[in-house]
């Protein structure tokens, strides 16, 4: 299952020599290397391919950090709390299963980021990057039919990383300096997004070398299938998810994909891989979990579709689908997804009356299904906030079922806007102790501190949001601003804030120096 090719976040060029490399690569998506040079197919009885890489996990993580810094700045990068929480629930189960199986040793777990970056792109794609970073397009979430299918994609990409496929592939180009490899990969990301924006010519074989960093051999693909299958099933996902996902890819291939499935252009799905997955499912027997489309997945898929197809006509199309005469032609699960998508689309169009009436239809249907009811409640809070009904939003937020990131962020936002920053700050502080890389959490905490008159703490939280996106230079600038406020007796500054700021200035200064040395 080849999802990692031609990632299409619009990567901004970095400075200096990296900019020059990127400029040379913004020409045309480079074709993959011939499959004739690929490694032999793996037998299902063979052990893992092993490490054999020349790049250490620490060095690979540094390279991944450089690429991730650019993706965080990409206009297409999206951190939607509802979709991110849904994806993370699947992702963490896969991580736990991989560790339990011994595929992810503690040293590798500690060295890599294991971070999924989502892109607001309608194409069907997912990909792994150096250092345990992963890209996931909303277009892929929109087309998968079940949680099990999405788990199959993520498990496959996870296995590419745990087996060090990226590092071993990059080792073939070991003569390239790491910073140049990172620049070339970013060039491929940018070129694949807009191939018509050429401003220079491809110089030598650099673009081909960059593309080769993202190409895996057939043997590696088979290994990722095999290990990903075992990881996903151990995590409790239906093995049929692999087969049904492969069938989607095969169908797209038969229909001569015109660009909506980027990976099909470089690594067509083979019937042998499909047969291998079907055989593995049969071997598990009748006791294996069965793939069942769920209401909450249909709702998340609808949300992803709205976010990556935001043209006015596309948003209005949801209302047509939600009309009773069209809704009756859909399955029950499809109806729930359609009603959710129609309400969310109306919210995006700021047609609040229509959003409310459609939401009420959805609420009546999901009342007895906890996961679907929770997503409906979150949408109600979102809708009230969008209408400026902050007291109502705060009241609805307090009725949300269960904990979670989306619940915490939506509740904090409603409380801050309803002049309750103290409650929001307390909950956000607790959350960020365990989730220090949550950018939105830090941003909300900054707003809460500012409303409480704790200006220094607010600027410090703003700096931490920059640091969470690996923008250490921006973080240091804001942290020094907080330090100056302390020295001048800034509002709300106390000994604890001052101590934290001084410590973080020292740490961020060191990180900025390390980044400069890498460049």
- Would you list the domain boundaries of the chain? 16-27+54-284, 297-387
Position 203 scores a pLDDT of: 37
Q: What are the start-end ranges of the E strands in 317-407? A: none
Position 176 scores a pLDDT of: 53
350: left (phi over 0), alpha (psi -120 to 50) or beta: left
Position 87 scores a pLDDT of: 98
- pLDDT, tens digit, 9 for 90 and up, residues 413-423: 999 999 999 99
Helices (H), 235-264: 240-254
CA distance 177 to 165: 19
- pLDDT, tens digit, 9 for 90 and up, residues 422-444: 999 999 999 999 999 999 999 99
Position 117 scores a pLDDT of: 96
More confident residue, 142 or 179: 142
Position 24 scores a pLDDT of: 24
- pLDDT, tens digit, 9 for 90 and up, residues 51-77: 444 678 888 898 899 899 999 999 999
**Whole-number mean pLDDT of the chain?**
82
**Longest C-alpha distance within the chain, in Å?**
71
CA distances from residue 275 to 31, 154, 378, 494 in whole angstroms, order as listed:
27, 20, 41, 65
Position 388 scores a pLDDT of: 96
Q: Residue 406: how many CA atoms within 13 Å on its side-chain side? A: 24
- pLDDT, tens digit, 9 for 90 and up, residues 272-286: 788 888 899 989 887
Q: CA nearest 123: which of 262, 300, 310, 268?
A: 262
Position 43 scores a pLDDT of: 29
pLDDT bin (cut points 50, 70, 90) of residue 292 is confident
**Secondary structure (3-state) at 77:** strand
CA distance 464 to 458: 10
Q: What length does the chain have?
A: 519
pTM of the model: 0.84
- pLDDT, tens digit, 9 for 90 and up, residues 375-392: 999 999 999 999 999 999
Please count the other Cβ atoms lying within 10 Å of the Cβ belonging to residue 268. Answer: 13
Position 17 scores a pLDDT of: 27
CA distance 29 to 211: 8
Token pair belonging to 350 = 């700021």
Out of 8-12, 108-112, 473-477, least confident range: 8-12
């Amino acid at each position: 299952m080849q999802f990692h090719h031609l990632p299409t976040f619009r990567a901004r060029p970095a400075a200096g020599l990296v900019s020059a490399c990127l400029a040379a690569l913004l020409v045309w998506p480079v074709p993959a290397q011939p499959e004739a040079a690929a490694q032999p197919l793996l037998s299902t009885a063979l052990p893992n391919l092993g490490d054999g890489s020349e790049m250490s996990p620490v060095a690979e993580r540094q390279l991944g950090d450089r690429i991730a810094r650019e993706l965080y700045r990409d206009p297409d990068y999206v951190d939607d709390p509802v979709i991110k929480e849904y994806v993370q629930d699947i992702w963490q189960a896969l991580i736990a299963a991989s560790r339990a199986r011994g595929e992810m040793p503690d040293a590798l777990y500690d060295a890599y980021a294991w971070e999924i970056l989502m892109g607001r792109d309608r194409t069907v794609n997912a990909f792994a990057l150096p250092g345990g970073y992963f890209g996931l397009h909303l277009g892929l979430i929109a087309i998968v039919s079940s949680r099990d299918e999405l788990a199959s994609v993520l498990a496959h990409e996870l296995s590419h990383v745990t087996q060090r496929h990226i590092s071993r592939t990059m080792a073939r180009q070991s003569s390239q300096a790491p910073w140049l490899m990172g620049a070339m990969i970013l060039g491929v990301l940018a070129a694949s997004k807009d191939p018509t924006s050429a401003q220079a010519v491809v110089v030598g074989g650099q673009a081909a070398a960059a593309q080769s960093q993202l190409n895996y051999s057939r043997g590696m693909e088979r290994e990722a299938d095999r290990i990903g299958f075992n990881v996903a099933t151990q995590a409790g996902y239906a093995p049929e998810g692999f087969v049904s996902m492969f069938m989607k890819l095969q169908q797209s291939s038969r229909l001569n994909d015109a660009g909506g499935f980027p990976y099909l252009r470089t690594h067509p799905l083979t019937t042998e891989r499909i047969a291998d997955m079907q055989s593995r499912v049969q071997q598990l027997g009748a006791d294996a979990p069965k793939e069942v489309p769920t209401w909450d997945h249909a709702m998340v898929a609808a949300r992803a579709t709205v976010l990556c197809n935001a043209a006015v006509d596309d948003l209005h199309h949801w209302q047509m689908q939600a009309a009773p005469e069209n809704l009756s032609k859909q399955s029950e699960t499809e109806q729930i997804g359609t009603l959710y998508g129609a309400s969310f689309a109306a919210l995006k169009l700021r047609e609040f009356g229509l959003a409310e009436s459609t939401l009420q239809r959805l609420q009546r249907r999901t009342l007895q299904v906890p996961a679907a009811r929770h997503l409906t409640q979150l949408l109600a809070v979102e809708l009230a906030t969008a209408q400026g009904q902050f007291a109502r939003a705060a009241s609805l937020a307090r009725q949300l079922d269960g904990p979670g990131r989306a619940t915490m962020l939506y509740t904090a936002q409603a409380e801050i806007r309803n002049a309750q920053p103290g409650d929001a700050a307390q909950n956000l502080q607790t959350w960020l102790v365990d989730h220090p890389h949550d950018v939105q959490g830090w941003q909300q905490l900054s707003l809460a501190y500012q409303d409480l008159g704790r200006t220094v703490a607010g600027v410090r939280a703003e700096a931490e949001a920059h640091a969470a996106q690996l923008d250490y230079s921006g973080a240091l600038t804001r942290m020094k601003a907080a330090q100056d406020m302390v020295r001048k007796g800034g509002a709300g500054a106390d000994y604890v804030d001052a101590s934290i700021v001084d410590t973080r200035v020292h740490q961020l200064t060191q990180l900025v120096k390390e980044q400069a040395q890498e460049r």
